[in-house]
Structure 1
Amino acid sequence: MGTTTSLTHIILPLLILTFSLSVSARPATFLQDFRITWSDSHIKQIEGGRAIQLILDQSSGCGFASKSQYLFGRVSMKIKLIPGDSAGTVTAFYMNSDTDNVRDELDFEFLGNRTGQPYTVQTNVYAHGKGDREQRINLWFDPAADFHTYSILWNHHHVVFSIDDVPIRVYKNNEARGIPFPKFQPMGVYSTLWEADDWATRGGLEKIDWSKAPFYAYYKDFDIEGCAMPGPASCATNPRNWWEGTAYQQLNVLQARRYRWVRLNHMVYDYCTDKSRYPVTPPECMAGI
């Protein structure tokens, strides 16, 4: 892709097929579908529960989670990140199995910046308890100026992280090669806003400027389309679930073009090429993940 303008004017059609009774297909709302996990005084509901404001100050950050867990599907949220000097802060949107030793997790982590520097988004994949699969890209727009849609598509074939329908990461199912893939444990949907100035911005060199606090992030248009658990056994394997359909088993031509554009122009870190951490290339990298 050549320019930001061309990106923002291309809209991918989303084909919504028939849902079984085990599938959540309505738009989610904060009041109905989520619960506060910590520091309820730092989460403010606005727009009648359709949107929320997360607050970080020197006393606390905050977090929330879905009331249900899901096994495969697609989740998305519109998020407006902290404006101005947000160095040392992390706004996170992720899925987590909430298990200790063998947890599965799919992460978006938005790493704050000094004013004028690009926002960095870090993605990570935990499968069967193994993580350390970080990739980072610098965003090609100002994510604090307006809301943008961040989504995770998770099915038997791959996990796709997308921003405004632009794929930024694909983690393929290569179990046939002995590479773990998250497919047995249902996961909840989580978000947090917290202090992480020991690592978040330039490896911890940039600290939070508390004189700029409180820091605010905004969420709206929650959308969860997946198999809510506990559900019938067929929920996890029924190929009629739309996210398992042929159109969602691999990127289409336009998605693949966008994906290459992001990787070539905006990727700033890939664990697959970090020889100081991995002298031997991880097997999933060799498999083309």
Structure 2
Amino acid sequence: MAMAASRCFLLLLLLLLSPLLEPGAGEEEQEAVLAMAARLPRPAAVSFREGYTQLFGDSNLALHGHGKRVRISLDERTGAGFASQDAYLHGFFSASIKLPADYAAGVVVAFYMSNGDVYEKTHDELDFEFLGNIKGREWRVQTNVYGNGSTSVGREERYGLWFDPTEDFHRYAILWSHDRIVFYIDETPIREVQRTKSMGVQFPSKPMSLYATIWDGSSWATSGGRYKVNYKYAPFVAEFSELMLHGCTIDTLTHAPMCAPDIASIHNAVAMSGRQRSAMERFRTKYMTYGYCYDRLRYPTPLSECNVGPEAELFLPTGEARSMDRHGRARRHRRGPADSAF
């Protein structure tokens, strides 16, 4: 398992560096990039006791496989959650997640980075949120980006999952550098946020910890709160494995980042290859169900980082995709193996 995780990380790293390996690149350039990747640590999955601490939920958090797998559950009594022991400034953070099965309306599973415990009014946040499910319908996943307490300026996007994430594990990852953020599902990039001068402090720039939680979001999560948590189906269980923390930890005394210069330079220089960018665009065209850049009711003037073009015609003034049917499903959500970036 550890070796597989290491190979997965190295593969992803090489693909992140692949703009330097496009056809026509000289042998010296290719060797330099490969050597740079080879010098990096090849992190194994971090066990719970090595990297995390429980936040809440007492017995609703259970460890399996010598702490390599973590199950958190929601019942009428409580939800559960855990967090990384360290805070990080930039890096690559991922987990394989299996979501609650059957009827899970109103149940929110979140995998995210935040510093709200340190910066109460000016916190940063990078979110994956899974917004419950009614059996037979698609799960919705939402990504959020908040910087310096900019929660009043929502940068949410939502997507309809094309697979059943309750039957198997799927990998979700966040890559965060000083000038861009990339969200991944199963190694396919689904969203990129590039830092712009006009964003200023609204681009996340302070050290953050990694969190995973499950909780009752009946008031809003599934169809805007239409479908509530039904506890006759409890407990609702989410399982996490292959937890990966690879970034610059922060010294608790000096608040300075502690990582080797070559690690920091890799995180700060990442760029997607043309192949990855094409895969991301295909994903977004097929599966995005809401985009804040197209929400003309909330933002009559799009936010500065939004490059709105002809594709805006695919979205209603509410930001919802026009292809949604009356049940809230995107008719275009069908995916084949050829859509993968890998």
Q: TM-score, normalising length from structure 2?
A: 0.74
Look up the SS of the partner of 2:39 in the other structure: coil
Determine the C-alpha separation between the residues in 2 that align with 1:17 and 1:156: 23
Match of 1:121 among 141, 153, 157: 141
Look up the SS of the partner of 1:14 in the other structure: helix
The residue that corresponds to 1:241 in the other structure is: 264
Instruction: For residue 54 of structure 1, report the CA deviation from its aligned partner.
Output: 0.8
Is the aligned partner of 1:34 residue 2:52? yes
Determine the C-alpha separation between the residues in 2 that align with 1:136 and 1:254: 23
Look up the SS of the partner of 2:241 in the other structure: strand
Residues 125-173 of structure 1 deviation map (CA, whole Å, 9 limit, x = unaligned):
0111113111000111111110011000000220000011111111111
Of 172-181 and 235-244, more deviation after overlay is shown by 235-244
Query: Unaligned regions of 5+ residues in structure 1, if any?
Result: 1-10
Number of aligned pairs?
272
Residues 1:205 and 1:150: Cα distance change in structure 2 (over 3 Å): same
Is the aligned partner of 1:172 residue 2:190? no
Is the aligned partner of 1:109 residue 2:129? yes
Match of 1:255 among 244, 254, 276: 276
The residue that corresponds to 2:7 in the other structure is: none
Higher Rg:
2
The residue that corresponds to 1:144 in the other structure is: 166
Determine the C-alpha separation between the residues in 2 that align with 1:107 and 1:51: 21
- CA RMSD, 1 decimal: 2.3
Is the aligned partner of 1:269 residue 2:290? yes
Residues 50-88 of structure 1 deviation map (CA, whole Å, 9 limit, x = unaligned):
001111001110110000000000000000001111110
Is the aligned partner of 1:14 residue 2:36? no
Determine the C-alpha separation between the residues in 2 that align with 1:33 and 1:69: 11
Is 2:198–2:304's contact at 8 Å kept on the other side of the alignment? no
Instruction: For residue 234 of structure 1, report the CA deviation from its aligned partner.
Output: 6.5
* Percentage of identical aligned residues: 38
**Higher-RCO chain (CA-CA 8 Å, sequence separation at least 6):** 1
Of 278-287 and 76-85, more deviation after overlay is shown by 278-287
Residues 18-59 of structure 1 deviation map (CA, whole Å, 9 limit, x = unaligned):
34xxx8944311111100111121101011100011110011
Residues 1:37 and 1:26: Cα distance change in structure 2 (over 3 Å): same
The residue that corresponds to 2:227 in the other structure is: 206
Determine the C-alpha separation between the residues in 2 that align with 1:215 and 1:105: 25
